[in-house]
Structure formats: structure tokens, C-alpha cells
Chain A
Amino acid sequence: MELTKEEEDALDGKQGETLALAYRTLVAIGEASGSDRLIPIEWAHLSGVNYNTIGDAGRDFLSHLSQDAKFKVKTTVNPMGFDFDSVSRYNLDDKFIENQRSIKNSYEKMGAIPSYSCIPYEIFDIPKQGTHVSFAESNAAIYANSFSGLKTNKEGAFSALASALTGKSPCSDLRDDKVRKPNLTIRMKVESPDELTYGMLGYFAGKVAGSSVALSGVNDLDRRSCKSLCAGMGTSGACGMFTFGEEEGEKIDFDKKEMQKIHDELNTSESGDLITLGSPQLGLDEIADLAGMLKGRSFKKRCMIFCPSAIKGQMRDLGYRKEIERAGGELLFDCCTCLSPLVDNKEVDSVTTNSVKGAYYLRTSNQVDVNLKSLKNIVAEETK
């Protein structure tokens, strides 16, 4: 990789240990992806915020880093483990809360915008078409490439962190228009799909695709289905973007049989003790939609709904919060279904969700069984 004099100096530690570490990381991923140079990026979105995911090792690493590090570009962050405003209502131990506070403080000290959201593409203004960004959250990277007109690789937590500290990223993979053009098409053959179907299509696509994949037979995606598709794809694979329509090269069908295989892998229970909505977090239009669906109905069991706090004011002012809480929905901000410490396998055996991503991490990390159901069916069957 060819570095400028300034980059070489930083790599050699002439601008301090933090930047040397950041450049070492960028050079390693540059080598891994066959890049010849670093290019500027305008926005980094970081993962690795929830104490449940990064543990004591991550807490100490960030605390040490934040002693002298500052982010060079706009930097936003993923959800935490819980919502500080409502944490007293939950039975979380004080150690977890203190560890989470330490992580939050470290990121904010380095200059992060306290967004605590996995849907930065929905709550921030999007830079102009073709802008290079560095998004670690997998669903956000795929969404940014596929819908927002931005360019990012499916970054790792540390590669995005290195980009935030330097304002740079190796020019490779999906930053190159030739790689963005898919050479595999998946033909959608399942009829009357809902967001759960699209989540499973994404999960299937992630397993078979390389860096980029084309999807044919997919029309009129609403926001919920778009996000579900991106999150499913991000969970099962290394694929970082998709396009619509058929491309040259190999074709694979996603039919009922393939869908059933994915369903059997992820769905391990016929019912759930608890419902969770939001992996990815629900944005304002999904909240508006949910409030409409819940008119005159109430949840028969506990339902946790995860959102970014950026929409807190609007959802209150527009009456959605009142409607959802009247129906018994439990709104949580700044956190998300994935690896939430609020879903404890000592208290619940199984969870109902419409999220394929949530299903994977609930089963593997929270170690609870999962009952997959579309939102429409959740409202029809789990409310009265």
C-alpha cells in the first residue's frame, strides 16, 4: 500500500500511539482487501457500544483510548445495552450500568454524537450521492450502499473506529464501482412477501453472495421490509450491498423450499413469552404505522419496542407514544433487541419477533428460543 509522508509518519508513531494504532489497523485491512491507498471518508458509524457485546475488554480499551484520542470526522454510534432514562425500572445489576456508563463516556469524550442508534441512515441527513463513509453496523452499511447512495465497506468495529480517528479508509472492495456490480442474481420466487420473508431472503442472500448481489422479482419494498432485508443479509454473510433487477452471471432462486430451510434454522419455538420489535430499531414512519395498527387493541403479553431517542420528541408530539403505551407497548430508547441484557433467559424461555437478525442473536447470544412472526401476525394474534 502506498502511503503519503504524513500517513507514514503517523504509522511510525510520530503523531502518538493512538494514531499509530489506527493506521496499523487501516494498513492491515488495506492489505487484506488489496487496496493501494487510503481515501478520505466523511462519516464514521461505530459499533461496539453495548457492554453486553464488548465486555470488560472493550470497556478498558475504549477508556484507555479516550484519554487522548479525538474523532476527526462526524462520528455516530450504535445502541447501548439499555436506556439510561428507564433503567431503574429494570432489574439490571449496578455493575452492568456502571460499565455501560464508562463506555458511553469514552465515546462521547472522543467526540461521538450520542445517537445510540443502528439506523443512522434514517435519523441523519444523508450526504450527497457517492460520498464515502465508514459504517460498521452491518445493516446500516448495507442500507447505505443499497438505498442511500453512499459508499462504504461492511466495516469491522475497529476498522470504522480507525476511520473515525483518521478520517480515512482503504480504497477497496465496495469503494470500487467494479466490485459494486454484482455477478450473482437471486430471483425472488416467494409470493406475497412480508418483512419476515424479506429478512429471510436477506439471510439466504448473505449466505450465498460475495461482496454484492442482485435481487430480481423484488418490488415495492416498504421501509420495514428494506430494513429487514438489510439486517438479515448482514447477519448471515459478508455481503455489503445489493441492487435490484437481473445481472449477468449466475442465477439462484429463492423459493418456498429455501425459505423453509431458513425458517427451520431460526424459528425454534411455536410461541413466545415476550415480544420484541426493533432490530433494527424502529424509525418514525414504522412507529406511526404501528400506532395505527394498534388502534383499539392491546397486547396480550409484554412487548418491548426499540427506537432511537432522536424520534422521542416527535413520537410524543404526534400522539404515537400515547397510543402505543395505551396498547401496553413498552418503548425503549438508545438500545435494541440484539444482545439486550433486558432479555434474560432466567426470566423468559422464548421470544416472538419479526426480526431475522434479532432471532439469530437471541438464540445464539441471549440463548432463548425464538418464534418468528410478521408484524401483521403479531398484531392479529398477540393483541386483542
Chain B
Amino acid sequence: MNVKVIVKGMAKGSILVAKNPLNFLGGIDKKTGIVHDKNHDLFGKSIGNKILAFPFGIGSSVGAYTIYSLKYNKCAPLAMICLKADLTTASGCAISNIPLVVANKNDYDSLEQDKEVVLDAVTGKIL
């Protein structure tokens, strides 16, 4: 699948797909990477060391620091796939060197939970 590259890099791992948008500041524990918003479909799961797919980021702009903290605390996603890259997610990934790509709606909907993939955020491909 071809994707648009926002932040360059390479990643290999399993995909974790979220149905709901993510509020990084309110929804994720920055020390563990565990989703602690009870109303989120990933509640209780860790986004650490996964290729995290979610529609887009919402809420507080400080979520960018949450992304940086996840990296600092070694529990950040390996890479992120979004439908629309909001500025909090894009700037958070840019500063934290986390590869970020945007997929179109059909491709995004075809992402399979737990599937092992290689994300090439240089040429813009998910294999």
C-alpha cells in the first residue's frame, strides 16, 4: 500500500488499529504507553512498540509532549499511520523522530489488527 510520508523513517512490527481518534494528553499514560481513557476502544492496551494506526489526534496541543515523553520513556509506538495528520501528532512525531504516514480511507480501512508489516516511511510504502 502507498502512503504519504510526513515524518521519515523505517519501522517493522505489528499493527495496532484504533477506531476512535486519540487525545494523547488525556488518553495515554506517558510513562507506560497504556491507554487510560475508559471511553477509548484501546482502553487498557499499550501503544508502545506497535505500529499505531488511528484516525487523527484530538484535544490538547500538549499531546505533542506526550508523544515525546513516550519516546523518552521507551514506550512510544514504532511508527504511526493516520487518516489525517493533525498538527499535534505531526509536530510530536517530528520532534521525537517517530515515522508518521498518512493513508487514504480505503487503505486505512483495510489495515489488519496485529498484522506484521514493514513500514517504509522514506519511499512511502507499507509492505
Residues of A within 8 A of B (CB): 21, 24-25, 28-29, 31-33, 47-48, 50, 53-58, 60-61, 136-138, 141, 153-162, 206, 234-238, 265, 338-339, 360-361, 364-365, 367
Contacts and interface: CB of A to CB of B under 8 A. Distances in A.
Contacts of A339: 25
A68 B50 CA distance: 35
Nearest to A141: B61
Interface in B1-42: 4-7, 21, 23, 25-27, 30-31, 36-37, 39
Secondary structure dominating the interface of B = mixed
Given A234-B59, A238-B57, A61 B68 contact: yes
B73 to A, nearest CB: 7
Contacts of B73: 57
**Residue among B60, B63, B95 having the largest count of chain A Cβ atoms under 10 Å:** B60
B102 A32 contact: yes
Nearest to A360: B26
B91 A156 contact: yes
Interface in B64-86: 64-66, 68-69, 71-73, 84-86
A29 B87 contact: yes
A25 B89 CA distance: 11
A369 B99 CA distance: 36
A54 B6 CA distance: 23
B88 interface: yes
The range of chain B's interface size is 35 or more
17 contacts: A29-B87, A32-B86, A48-B64, A48-B65, A53-B62, A54-B69, A57-B65, A57-B73, A136-B62, A154-B87, A157-B65, A158-B68, A158-B92, A159-B64, A159-B88, A161-B91, A360-B59
A232 B89 CA distance: 20
Contacts of B7: 28
Nearest to B36: A364
A32 B65 contact: no
A238 B56 contact: yes
B56 A157 contact: no
A54 B72 CA distance: 11
Nearest to B29: A365
Interface of B: 4-7, 21, 23, 25-27, 30-31, 36-37, 39, 56-66, 68-69, 71-73, 84-95, 100, 102
Contacts of A33: 85, 87, 90
Nearest to A61: B68
A138 B87 contact: no
Nearest to A239: B58
Contacts of A158: 64-65, 68, 91-92, 94-95
A157 B90 CA distance: 10
Nearest to B28: A364
Given A31-B6, A156-B87, 17 more contacts: A25-B95, A28-B7, A28-B94, A29-B85, A53-B65, A54-B69, A57-B68, A61-B68, A154-B86, A156-B61, A159-B64, A161-B91, A235-B58, A237-B58, A265-B39, A339-B25, A365-B25
Contact of A28 (B26, B86, B90): B90
